Chain A
Amino acid sequence: MIRTTFGLLALLALLPALPARDKAETPTPTQQYQALVKEYQTAMMEFRKAYFAAKTPQDQQKVFQEKYPRPDKFAPRFLEVAEKNPQDPAAVDALIWIVQSQVDTSDPKGPRAKALKILFRDHVQNEKMVKVCYRLGFARDEESRQLMRAVLEKNKYRSAQAHACLSLARQTENRLRLARRFKDQPEMAKRYEVIRGKEAFEALAKADLDKLSKEVEAFYERIVKDFADVAAPDSGTFGEMAEQKLEGLRHPILVGKPVPEIDGEDIDSKKFKLSDYRGKVVMLDFWGHW
């Protein structure tokens, strides 16, 4: 009898303590965010597989319609995570996902517009704001401009500031390019007015091109002055890139004029110059394999 009890006690002592499960576990905001990211990535992988397996353009179109993970379906779910947990670290991640996605930029009531508002309100000082700067460089809306301005002026991380400054420079330059095209291609200007509305059209049609041009330069000059040493995307520094850009703005390469020198490296890191080929006709091909 004693032996059996002892054996039982010994067995009980060996059993691991079981945790108390008094309620169902709800995923944390971070877990919710990560689950959404995984769901999106999985859907994207499945789409790509099916797309490459499709034999005809019609099949490809069908696969696209049926399987492409739509950002406008995912964005509201990311927004919900952010709106329900505004103080949680996952909120900024969810908002950044929305801004980085291909969700429609023109809807002033859509998830992207809401995400920009919340980022402007709560996250201007966050180091992670660097992640939206490249995408917002292509944006045309005022909210994107305000957000980048706020990051440039208020964020304490110089990398975020530098990226935001570049984003503003590119936004402004895109407006300048579009305004110039309006003058050269009135047909295209008319179409723009029809699609985007009178207000958006007039903002560009009546733009002072010289003023815009000076604004672009001012952003690059600011980069050279305040952020020269910050590491640029991929390689080199912001200063090097901005100085080359300013040179390009001030001494544009025009048909009928001599071209500047290129003093660089090839893919094997060997130095060479464009002027090495003087005396030959050169086709200079800016390319990438993507």
Chain B
Amino acid sequence: MYSHERSLVKRLEGKPFVLIGVNSDKDRAALNKVMDKEKITWRSFWNGGSTQGSISERWDVEGWPTLYLIDAKGVLRHKHVGSPGEKALDEELDKLIAEAEKTAAAK
């Protein structure tokens, strides 16, 4: 279920990239068990234990999953309600990372 996320984290290790979750599960203890089992190693914000929590309200999330791709300068570049597929995500992320590396190299 989380195989693409795990592969992204692995593939992009050492690059200017980070996967951050915002989780809407009800129970923290149960969630910790899930994260161990599914090898979810990336960090997640706690959305207050519901799909009506403060973070998802601020970010106008109406469907799960929703993905926001934010560039290295903090600007939103893509929003997806539901995954657009591994290929599309990989392409979008690779472009943004190349951009970030170029900017860093120019400094």
A281 touches B57 (CB 8 A): no
4 cross-chain pairs, A with B, having the tightest CB-CB distances, nearest first: A234-B50, A234-B49, A245-B57, A284-B68
- CB-CB under 8 A from B71, the residues of chain A are 281
CB distance from B91 to the nearest CB of A (A): 13
* Cβ contacts A264-277/B at 8 Å (1 or 0 each): 11111100101101
A255 to B24, CA, bound (A): 23
Contact across chains for A286 and B20 when beta carbons are under 8 A apart: no
Taking a contact as CB atoms under 8 Å apart, the answer to whether A260 and B49 are in contact is no
CA distance A258 to B38 in the complex (A): 32
**B46 (CB) vs chain A CBs: closest residue:** A265
Do A285 and B21 touch (CB < 8 A)? yes
- Decide if B31 touches A267 in the complex (CB within 8 Å): yes
CA distance A12 to B19 in the complex (A): 80
The CA of A289 and the CA of B21, in the complex, are separated in Å by 12
Q: Which residue of A lies closest to B42 (CB)?
A: A285
Interface presence of A257 (CB below 8 A): yes
Find A248's partner among B18, B25, B60 (CB 8 Å cutoff).
B60
Within A239-259, which residues are at the interface with B (CB < 8 Å)?
Answer: 240-241, 244-245, 247-249, 252-259
18 pairs, CB–CB < 8 Å, chain A vs chain B: A234-B49, A241-B48, A244-B54, A253-B58, A253-B59, A255-B77, A255-B78, A258-B73, A259-B74, A266-B46, A267-B28, A280-B72, A281-B72, A282-B18, A285-B21, A286-B65, A287-B65, A289-B23
Interface residues of B (CB under 8 A from A): 5, 8, 16-26, 28, 31-32, 34-35, 38, 43-62, 64-79, 89, 93, 96-97, 100, 104
Cβ of A279 < 8 Å from any Cβ of B?
yes
Q: Give min CB distance, A131 to chain B, whole Å.
A: 16
Closest residue of B by beta carbon distance from A261: B74
Is A267 within 8 A of B19, CB to CB?
no
User: Do B58 and A244 touch across chains, with their CB atoms under 8 A apart?
Assistant: yes
Is A87 close to B, CB under 8 A? no
- Taking the closest CB of chain B, its distance from the CB of A186, in whole angstroms, is 20
Question: Given A285-B5, A287-B23, A288-B64, A257 and B46 touching (CB < 8 A)?
Answer: no
| CA of A257 to CA of B58, assembled, Å | 15
Question: Does A109 make an interface contact (CB < 8 A)?
Answer: no
Query: Is the beta-carbon distance between A285 and B22 smaller than 8 angstroms?
Result: yes
A260: B residues at CB distance < 8 A: 58
Report the nearest B residue to A254, measured CB to CB. Answer: B76
Whether the pair B16, A279 counts as a contact (CB closer than 8 A) is: yes
Chain A residues with CB under 8 Å of B24's CB are: 286-288
Asked, given contacts A234-B49, A236-B53, A289-B34, whether A274 binds B23 with beta carbons under 8 Å apart, the answer is no
- Of all chain B residues, the one with the shortest Cβ separation from A242 is B57
Q: Is A290 an interface residue (CB 8 A)?
A: yes
A235 adjacent to chain B (CB < 8 Å): yes
| A278 at the binding interface (Cβ < 8 Å) | yes
A29 to B72, CA, bound (A): 63
A289 CA to B64 CA, complexed, in Å? 10
Cβ-based interface call for A14 (8 A)? no
Closest to B95 in A: A281
Q: Is the CB of B58 within 8 A of A248?
A: yes
- Determine the chain A residues whose CB is within 8 A of the CB of B43 once the complex forms: 266, 272
A244-B28 contact in complex given A234-B50, A281-B72, C-beta closer than 8 Å: no
